[in-house]
Amino acid sequence: MRSIFPILALVVAVIYVVNKMRNNRKFKR
């Protein structure tokens, strides 16, 4: 169970950064 925590934290961090970058750039597909 302890091996899931680091992966979850990393995923959350990546999603947060991607969301921030997307919001800052405001690019449409």
pLDDT in tens, 1-29: 678 999 999 999 999 999 998 887 766 66
6: containing domain = 1-29
Q: What angle do CA 14, 20, 21 make, to 5 degrees?
A: 90
Number of domains in the chain: 1
Burial of residue 20, with CB atoms counted within 10 A of its CB: 0-12 exposed, 13-18 middle, 19 or more buried: exposed
Residue 29 is given by DSSP the state -
Model pLDDT, residue 29: 61
Model pLDDT, residue 9: 95
Q: At 17, list the tokens.
A: 């950064």
Instruction: Tell me the pTM.
Output: 0.57
Model pLDDT, residue 10: 96
Q: At 24, list the tokens.
A: 């800052």
